[in-house]
Structure 1
Amino acid sequence: MNGLLSKHVFLLLAKATSFSVRFFISEMRGNRRRDSYDFTYLLEKCRAINSLREVHAQIITGGYGHNPFLGAKLMNMYIEFPNSTMEDARKVFDHLPERDVFTWNVIIQGYATCGPLDEVLNCVSEMWAAGVTANEYTYTFVMKACGALEDVTSGELIHGQAVKCGLESNLFVGNSLVAFYGKCQEIQSSRKAFQEIPQKDIVSWNSMISSYVDNALSNEALVLLHAMLRDSITCAPDKATLVSIIPACAQASAIREGLWVHSYIIKSNITLDAALGSGLILMYANCGRIDAARKIFDQISTKNIVVWNAMIKSYGTHGHANEALKTFTELQWTGMQPDGLIFLCVLSACSHAGLVAEGRQLFKQMEEYGVEKSGEHYACMVDLFSRAALIEEAIEFVKTMPIQAGKDAYGAILGACRIHGNMELAEKVAEKLFVLDSENAGRYMILAKMYEDAGRCEDAARVRKLLREKKIRKPVGYSAIEVDYVLHRFGVEDESHPFKDLIFDTLRKLQMVMEGEWAAVDQLVAAS
């Protein structure tokens, strides 16, 4: 190589060989003056942060430090490097004398992705103060930050600005509004933003489905899925749709939709990865198909910690504590590091199965793995002792806890007091719960029923009166039954079902049959 080699020939040769960035720069020093094209090529070849900083220095010494195009490219490169901070990107931004909307969008997107999120709002305020008009991409990045912060007030102000600019019907802005309001639990506003998008794309549908699922509105998510399928000519479900809807199938125990999702994955030759697999495991488990959940687990070639957690949780939910422990052992054999959620699931399984020794051992293993013990882990141990009638040990455990016992720990003790009839302790624990969990009607009802069982009707009435005065309502219970892959729910004195007349007529007939059977039993007993 020598200085006579033309710049473009050198670029082609560098592209075809494995020259390092440093060697490339040294060779270019003998050439004629470099331009932005050269530096753009160099930036694209950077694979390490040191190389990027070296090219950055060359850009500055070459007199291109104020070039807006190179500045935006540099910021993007700094932002995209793993574990990078916004410090380097911000320095580039601050040294640019002129900043157009594209440059502002790069720095705003960087803060929205890498944080701190508060800087997103600061940047957009500075942008408006500088007289730069935001475009649809600006609002998308800002709404993303507001959603992550769950900052409803700021988000609504930004929404208002978008309306003033006539961008409320823009596809990108509309999709970001759907996601923002969903994350802020403003589901009606999310739905309104969704309906106002004139030409919905797959992101629109996925965002609305995710908003419903995140707000525990699984039935609404499933209804929306059916609406999407009717519009499948323009929007066919993709992997993101499936990942979003599977939790709704699990929440609603909707086996029909779950089977459809599973079939769609197979027919579409979509790889059953950890995201889809873990969702299907929980869906089948919630529908009572634990064997199917295990088959899905075995089919996933690359299992991450989320997949293992889903399988262990499924076993624990169905009372298969031994299988949960066995699966936990299999996880340890892989060499994978169990996390706090894994330990919580397996401890819960031990608690419900009365496996005290195993629970103690697991709790100790958390220290060996360096897993931090949270309030939920301590509460699970209290529940383990309480269910095993080791109330004194549970109380002693609470006293020695390094953190303040919370509502879950005291709730476990209160439940044990009712099972074992320990009224004195129940009253003390209930007093704490009425402060820690004052809006939970179940805490009051347990104490009231204990008073009634003990014949202390006045005390029971006092607790119930306290419930009324605080206007605390007990969640309405319901039963559910699956018929032909359709889940039917029934509340107390519920007459909302479309087949209510047929159902009540059948119940009356069953009652008559039962009365006849009992009459026959009475006659048989009298004759014997």
Structure 2
Amino acid sequence: MVGIAERSERWPEAYIKLTDKDSDSVRTSESDERYRFQCVISSKMACCLSSLHSEVRAFLDLYNSYLKLKIHNKNLKALPLPALALRTLEAFEITSYHIALSSFPIIKKPCVFLQNLMIRGLSNCGLHADLLHVYIKCRLSGCPSDDFTFPFLIKACSSLSDLRIGREIHCVIFRTGYHQNLVIQTALVDFYAKKGEMLTARLLFDQIPLADLVSCNTLMAGYSFNGLDQEALETFRRILTVGLKPNVSTFSSVIPVCTRLGHFCFGKSLHGFTIKSGYLFDDFLVPALISMYAGDLDLSTARKLFDSLLEKNASVWNAMISAYTQSKKFFEAFEIFRQMIRAEMQPDLVTFVSIIPSCENYCSFQCGESLTACVIKNGLGNQPSVLTALLSMYAKLGNIDSAKFLFDQIPNRNLLCWNAMMSAYVRNRFWDASLAVFRQMQFAGLNPDAVSIISVLSGCSKLDDVLLGKSAHAFSLRKGIVSNLDVLNALLMFYSDGGQFSYAFTLFHRMSTRSSVSWNTLISRCVQNGAVEEAVILLQRMQKEGVELDMVTLISFLPNLNKNGNIKQGMVIHGYAIKTGCVADVTFLNALITMYCNCGSTNDGRLCLLLFQMGDKREISLWNAIISVYVQTNKAKQAVAFFTELLGAGLEPDNVTVLSIISAGVLINSLNLTHSLMAFVIRKGLDKHVAVSNALMDSYVRCGNISMARKLFGSLIYKDAFSWSVMINGYGLYGDGEAALELFKQMQLSGVRPNEITYLGVLSACSHAGLVEQSKMVFKSMVEHGISQKMEHYACMVDLLGRTGHLNEAFIFVKKLPCKPSVSILESLLGACRIHGNVELGEIISGMLFEMDPENPGSYVMLHNIYASAGRWEDAYRVRSCMKRSRLKKVPGFSLVGD
């Protein structure tokens, strides 16, 4: 914001530079503002000097003693008042303001001069609250104010964001007749603009009879600060119209406006204007110009402008880092940051807020830790904005514990910090924890905003917490947040994910404005839930309302079509794409291939292969799509053949390609293929991707080489939750429950937080090893870590209790389930009844299974075997006869042996 510094900084010079000798030679001249101020202040000094009482002398003496000026009291009387003023201001400059504050209360009736002296010193030190206390004391003691006092008071109110006191001072200004002073009018415009009261600011500006450049700059900066870019541009045109010459402050305000409005041609014209005016290498203008060229995606010009500066300040470095980050050039952004460090330029708060997104999107976990150490080294470890950025970085890197630790270190958490923590939990699928943070935020007295509600709705959607989700909807209605389009889209997703399409459609029809996201959300959720006809109706209505079907709409529709005879709708979309020319898009072709694969209409891969041949063979994503199709259809050899052809075409596979081909190796149980892929991954440097290393570990586990999986696990520099889960699950598959539990303990000590998959692997390992007590402890710890227990976790516990012969306990456990038990859980318990010969409980469980799935032959076979083991042949014959009448036949199992 442009303040009043351009004009008011000339006032203190009258206090400092005026001496007794100077006051005799000062002449009144209306054409010279400097002499006019000196004459006014000189007369006030004369009055103050004649009425200076003992308390003022003692106060100034205390200053001189502190500064060790070695002036005795007898000399103090002879010392001129302007010289004392100079010593007093010097005391403020060496941050001895606490001496002034502790001594000022002894003065019963301070004069105007001393009041202004104190106010100026406190303002320079940033002690705005103390400044207002001094002013209130002076006002209560009957001390008047002048045109030097009020600009500093207004500045203090602006810094403290205190609109009420600012308005009261405005009233005092009006009553005392200073409301027509140009400096004070400009200060008031600046104050109201910073508080978002632009109507009041504009009204005050219009009352200025002859607005100068400072006043116009202040209004234009106010419009820019409040996002009123068109009004800011109109103010700039007014500056040119009335014949005022723009200065650095003018250009530094109007260039960002051009960037936000996309008026890059006009911005480039302003760049030429600055060169002509001689402002090219100004420290305020260069960052604004770099940001403008970055917004126009002209990073080369921005870099040339950056390199042309011989001496760069922190704002110039920050602008270049931010330009690369916003353009997703994360490597270049980090290189600029390294150059900044090598140039011995100290990074500031803006630097770290700009560079941290580069680290989270490009670099590894180790770079993030190095950046955290750099933040602490530069003394910014207590800044909420930096800590919030680091929190988001660790959340994106999957280290939720480090993110939580940083969140706990933030001293005064604002709404942005709470939202970042909620988003971190949502990103890492800790839905319960995100809702817990939301409740803590409410207890802390903060009102949720749109971002908070969106995070809450995401958690409610995943946890099927309909009541809390509807409460969030009601809260958004009460607070007026529901008018936010992003919140409405989140509500659409919440209701449609929960299968409550009546609520979703009601909300959709009541929306006054719908974005493409609104349509795409409802259409994709309809398809996901099998309501394909409703999705087609929405597509037709979308066209009738004149909303163009974009690529996102088509792509969101296609992959969600399944094998329920929806291929006709997919073919309709395919035909529409051909008609509109969208079929040439590689992303759409990928979605189309996936759709035909999901619908089971690959025709031995011929249709998908035809679509593949239509696309651009240079696009690696197209190869990834066709390889993924063959992997999903269990045609691993064809997938490997395509991978070989890809390499023969000279294309470089990415991590997605490698992940698909590793899955193909698992399908054919080929240890040799896994070894080859391991060598390929290391040679191409793809082992840096933790997802690729995790897939290789999983492949070694499934192919029977647990020792190689363990070596690969030990070589990983960074291990995420899935890395630990793969090894724990591997030990469980090999029946080594003790090793799985030991690895689980190491995972907790390393700071990586277990997720649902991790606990499932630990429980499965305990089940295979028969570790009952340990399994119960692990199962109970899930609640302590904020992880909801799913049906799979209950199934592991039932299987363990059944394997170890605790059949009654297992049955009690099943009856206490919060939801209806699945068929697999009951089949597991029925199998345990067969092993341990519990006929009575087996009959109860089989009855429940016949009611839930009467056409499942496996339940009949297990009951038959229970009767046969107990020697009850008549009952066994009755079960087999029932199977014959129902024409049920058990499909025999088989297994394959890999190479």
Per the TM superposition, whether the score is higher than 0.5 is yes
Conserved? CA contact 2:151–2:183, under 8 Å: no
Name 1:95's counterpart in structure 2: 210
Which segments of 5 or more consecutive residues in structure 2 lack a partner in the other structure?
Answer: 1-42, 50-110, 119-133, 158-165, 589-619, 626-652, 660-679, 705-893
The alpha-carbon deviation at position 311 of structure 1 amounts to 0.9
Name 2:453's counterpart in structure 1: 343
Moved more, 211-220 or 47-56: 47-56
Letter in 1 for 2:435: L
Name 1:443's counterpart in structure 2: 554
Conserved? CA contact 2:426–2:434, under 8 Å: yes
Name 2:326's counterpart in structure 1: 214
Separation (CA, whole Å) in 1 of partners of 2:686 and 2:248: 58
Letter in 2 for 1:408: V
What does 1:393-404 correspond to in 2, within 5 Å?
394-399=504-509, 401-404=510-513
Q: Does 1:411 align with 2:520?
A: yes
Separation (CA, whole Å) in 2 of partners of 1:373 and 1:126: 35
Name 2:646's counterpart in structure 1: none
Name 1:484's counterpart in structure 2: none
Separation (CA, whole Å) in 1 of partners of 2:402 and 2:44: 70
Name 2:191's counterpart in structure 1: 80
- What's the secondary structure of 1:209's corresponding residue? helix
Q: Does 1:44 align with 2:156?
A: no
Q: Does 1:11 align with 2:51?
A: no
Separation (CA, whole Å) in 2 of partners of 1:468 and 1:451: 25
With over 3 angstroms needed to count, the CA separation of the structure-2 counterparts of 1:143 and 1:350, relative to structure 1, is same
Separation (CA, whole Å) in 1 of partners of 2:703 and 2:477: 60
Separation (CA, whole Å) in 2 of partners of 1:444 and 1:222: 34
TM-score (ref. length: structure 1): 0.76
Q: Residues 28-49 of structure 1, C-alpha deviation per residue, up to 9 Å, x if partnerless?
A: xxxxxxxxxx632454356644
Q: Does 1:503 align with 2:615?
A: no
Which segments of 5 or more consecutive residues in structure 1 lack a partner in the other structure?
Answer: 27-37, 480-487
Name 1:240's counterpart in structure 2: 350
With over 3 angstroms needed to count, the CA separation of the structure-2 counterparts of 1:146 and 1:404, relative to structure 1, is closer
Q: Does 1:121 align with 2:233?
A: yes
Conserved? CA contact 2:229–2:261, under 8 Å: yes
- What's the secondary structure of 1:20's corresponding residue? helix
Name 2:382's counterpart in structure 1: 272
Separation (CA, whole Å) in 2 of partners of 1:376 and 1:428: 24
Q: Does 1:151 align with 2:260?
A: no
What does 1:125-140 correspond to in 2, within 5 Å?
125-140=237-252
Moved more, 154-163 or 317-326: 154-163
Q: Residues 5-54 of structure 1, C-alpha deviation per residue, up to 9 Å, x if partnerless?
A: 9434343454577322994449xxxxxxxxxxx63245435664454565
Name 2:406's counterpart in structure 1: 296
What is the Cα-based RMSD across aligned positions, in Å? 4.3
The alpha-carbon deviation at position 288 of structure 1 amounts to 0.4
Separation (CA, whole Å) in 2 of partners of 1:490 and 1:154: 43
Separation (CA, whole Å) in 2 of partners of 1:55 and 1:199: 44
- What's the secondary structure of 1:288's corresponding residue? coil
Letter in 2 for 1:503: K
- What's the secondary structure of 2:346's corresponding residue? coil
The alpha-carbon deviation at position 461 of structure 1 amounts to 4.3
Q: Residues 46-91 of structure 1, C-alpha deviation per residue, up to 9 Å, x if partnerless?
A: 6644545654776669xxx6xxxx6245413541355354336524
Conserved? CA contact 1:209–1:224, under 8 Å: yes
Separation (CA, whole Å) in 1 of partners of 2:228 and 2:514: 32
Separation (CA, whole Å) in 2 of partners of 1:144 and 1:173: 10
Separation (CA, whole Å) in 1 of partners of 2:351 and 2:415: 22
Q: Residues 93-126 of structure 1, C-alpha deviation per residue, up to 9 Å, x if partnerless?
A: 4336xx4x55654554455446754454344444
Name 1:474's counterpart in structure 2: 587
With over 3 angstroms needed to count, the CA separation of the structure-2 counterparts of 1:55 and 1:355, relative to structure 1, is closer
Name 1:204's counterpart in structure 2: 316
The alpha-carbon deviation at position 310 of structure 1 amounts to 0.8
Q: Does 1:180 align with 2:292?
A: yes
- What's the secondary structure of 2:311's corresponding residue? coil
What does 1:416-427 correspond to in 2, within 5 Å?
416-427=525-536
Conserved? CA contact 2:520–2:556, under 8 Å: no
Misfit runs of 4+, over 6 Å = 504-507
Conserved? CA contact 1:93–1:107, under 8 Å: no
Identity of aligned residues (%): 19
Separation (CA, whole Å) in 1 of partners of 2:203 and 2:897: 93
Higher relative contact order (CA 8 A, sep 6+): 1
Equivalences, count: 482
Conserved? CA contact 1:202–1:236, under 8 Å: yes
What does 1:295-444 correspond to in 2, within 5 Å?
295-391=405-501, 394-399=504-509, 401-432=510-541, 436=547, 438-441=549-552, 443-444=554-555
Q: Residues 455-490 of structure 1, C-alpha deviation per residue, up to 9 Å, x if partnerless?
A: 5485464245246447545288699xxxxxxxx964
Letter in 1 for 2:517: D
Separation (CA, whole Å) in 1 of partners of 2:315 and 2:415: 28
With over 3 angstroms needed to count, the CA separation of the structure-2 counterparts of 1:115 and 1:393, relative to structure 1, is closer
The alpha-carbon deviation at position 504 of structure 1 amounts to 9.3
The alpha-carbon deviation at position 306 of structure 1 amounts to 0.8
Separation (CA, whole Å) in 2 of partners of 1:460 and 1:186: 37
The alpha-carbon deviation at position 282 of structure 1 amounts to 1.1
With over 3 angstroms needed to count, the CA separation of the structure-2 counterparts of 1:161 and 1:171, relative to structure 1, is same
Conserved? CA contact 1:89–1:107, under 8 Å: no
With over 3 angstroms needed to count, the CA separation of the structure-2 counterparts of 1:345 and 1:135, relative to structure 1, is same
Separation (CA, whole Å) in 2 of partners of 1:453 and 1:325: 36
Separation (CA, whole Å) in 2 of partners of 1:60 and 1:390: 64
The alpha-carbon deviation at position 286 of structure 1 amounts to 0.5
With over 3 angstroms needed to count, the CA separation of the structure-2 counterparts of 1:225 and 1:111, relative to structure 1, is same
With over 3 angstroms needed to count, the CA separation of the structure-2 counterparts of 1:135 and 1:502, relative to structure 1, is same
TM-score (ref. length: structure 2): 0.47
With over 3 angstroms needed to count, the CA separation of the structure-2 counterparts of 1:4 and 1:310, relative to structure 1, is closer
Separation (CA, whole Å) in 1 of partners of 2:548 and 2:280: 41
- What's the secondary structure of 1:177's corresponding residue? helix
Separation (CA, whole Å) in 2 of partners of 1:436 and 1:169: 47
Letter in 2 for 1:261: L
- What's the secondary structure of 1:282's corresponding residue? helix
Conserved? CA contact 2:44–2:113, under 8 Å: no
Conserved? CA contact 2:321–2:333, under 8 Å: yes
Name 1:30's counterpart in structure 2: none
- What's the secondary structure of 1:19's corresponding residue? helix
Conserved? CA contact 2:655–2:686, under 8 Å: no
Conserved? CA contact 2:112–2:143, under 8 Å: no
- What's the secondary structure of 1:134's corresponding residue? coil
The alpha-carbon deviation at position 188 of structure 1 amounts to 4.8
Name 1:171's counterpart in structure 2: 283
Separation (CA, whole Å) in 1 of partners of 2:215 and 2:522: 58
Name 1:263's counterpart in structure 2: 373
With over 3 angstroms needed to count, the CA separation of the structure-2 counterparts of 1:432 and 1:526, relative to structure 1, is same
Letter in 1 for 2:112: L
